[in-house]
Amino acid sequence: MNKSELIDAIANEADLSKASAGRALDAALGAIGRSLKQSDPVVLVGFGTFNVRDRAARMGRNPQTGAPIQIRASRAPAFKAGKALKDSLN
Protein backbone atom coordinates (compact mmCIF):
# COMPACT_ATOMS: atom_id res chain seq x y z
CA MET A 1 0.00 0.00 0.00
CA ASN A 2 1.40 3.40 -0.93
CA LYS A 3 0.50 6.80 0.50
CA SER A 4 -2.34 7.55 -1.93
CA GLU A 5 -3.90 4.13 -1.29
CA LEU A 6 -3.62 4.76 2.46
CA ILE A 7 -5.34 8.14 2.04
CA ASP A 8 -8.14 6.42 0.10
CA ALA A 9 -8.53 3.83 2.86
CA ILE A 10 -8.63 6.50 5.58
CA ALA A 11 -11.20 8.52 3.62
CA ASN A 12 -13.44 5.47 3.21
CA GLU A 13 -13.13 4.25 6.82
CA ALA A 14 -13.59 7.66 8.47
CA ASP A 15 -16.14 9.01 5.96
CA LEU A 16 -13.88 11.95 5.04
CA SER A 17 -12.99 13.59 1.78
CA LYS A 18 -9.68 12.51 0.27
CA ALA A 19 -8.30 16.00 0.82
CA SER A 20 -9.19 15.91 4.52
CA ALA A 21 -7.78 12.41 4.89
CA GLY A 22 -4.56 13.52 3.18
CA ARG A 23 -4.20 16.50 5.51
CA ALA A 24 -4.87 14.28 8.53
CA LEU A 25 -2.26 11.74 7.43
CA ASP A 26 0.30 14.48 6.73
CA ALA A 27 -0.39 16.01 10.15
CA ALA A 28 0.03 12.65 11.91
CA LEU A 29 3.27 11.85 10.08
CA GLY A 30 4.58 15.36 10.77
CA ALA A 31 3.81 15.04 14.48
CA ILE A 32 5.57 11.66 14.64
CA GLY A 33 8.61 13.10 12.85
CA ARG A 34 8.81 16.14 15.13
CA SER A 35 8.54 13.96 18.22
CA LEU A 36 11.28 11.62 17.02
CA LYS A 37 13.52 14.58 16.16
CA GLN A 38 13.34 15.52 19.86
CA SER A 39 14.14 11.87 20.81
CA ASP A 40 10.66 11.49 22.27
CA PRO A 41 9.12 8.07 21.45
CA VAL A 42 5.61 7.83 20.01
CA VAL A 43 3.59 5.02 21.59
CA LEU A 44 0.38 3.92 19.88
CA VAL A 45 -1.09 1.31 22.23
CA GLY A 46 -2.03 -1.82 20.32
CA PHE A 47 -0.20 -0.71 17.18
CA GLY A 48 3.42 -0.11 18.10
CA THR A 49 6.16 2.27 19.17
CA PHE A 50 8.23 4.64 17.06
CA ASN A 51 11.55 5.62 18.62
CA VAL A 52 15.08 6.75 17.76
CA ARG A 53 18.07 4.44 17.97
CA ASP A 54 21.63 5.69 18.15
CA ARG A 55 24.06 4.00 15.78
CA ALA A 56 27.69 4.04 16.86
CA ALA A 57 30.53 5.09 14.58
CA ARG A 58 32.13 2.12 12.88
CA MET A 59 34.56 1.08 10.20
CA GLY A 60 33.19 -0.03 6.85
CA ARG A 61 34.56 -0.88 3.43
CA ASN A 62 34.15 0.86 0.10
CA PRO A 63 32.49 -1.85 -2.04
CA GLN A 64 34.32 -0.74 -5.22
CA THR A 65 37.85 -0.47 -3.89
CA GLY A 66 37.72 -2.42 -0.64
CA ALA A 67 39.37 0.52 1.12
CA PRO A 68 38.35 1.00 4.78
CA ILE A 69 36.16 4.02 5.49
CA GLN A 70 34.94 5.58 8.71
CA ILE A 71 31.13 5.62 9.04
CA ARG A 72 29.92 8.41 11.33
CA ALA A 73 27.63 7.86 14.29
CA SER A 74 24.00 8.57 13.45
CA ARG A 75 20.45 8.43 14.73
CA ALA A 76 17.93 6.20 12.96
CA PRO A 77 14.16 5.89 13.32
CA ALA A 78 12.87 2.52 14.48
CA PHE A 79 9.48 0.87 14.87
CA LYS A 80 8.52 -1.98 17.17
CA ALA A 81 5.17 -3.59 16.47
CA GLY A 82 2.75 -3.93 19.37
CA LYS A 83 1.17 -7.18 20.52
CA ALA A 84 -2.26 -6.42 19.00
CA LEU A 85 -0.71 -5.72 15.58
CA LYS A 86 1.37 -8.90 15.75
CA ASP A 87 -1.66 -10.95 16.81
CA SER A 88 -3.79 -9.53 13.99
CA LEU A 89 -1.38 -10.97 11.44
CA ASN A 90 -1.82 -14.55 12.58
- The answer to whether residue 22 is domain-embedded is yes
The answer to the question of residue 89 being in a domain is no
Q: How confident is the model at residue 26 (pLDDT cuts 50, 70, 90)?
A: very high
Domain that holds residue 15: 1-39
Question: 28-68: per-residue pLDDT in tens?
Answer: 999 999 999 999 999 999 999 999 999 999 999 999 999 99
Burial of 21 (0-12, 13-18, 19+ CB in 10 A): buried
Within a domain: 16: yes
Helices marked H in 1-90 — which ranges? Answer: 3-14, 18-37, 83-88
Asked if residue 24 is part of any domain, the answer here is: yes
Model confidence, pTM: 0.81
The CA distances from residue 50 to 11, 12, 17, 63, 79, in Å, are 24, 26, 28, 32, 5
Residue 76's H or E segment, with its range, is strand 74-81
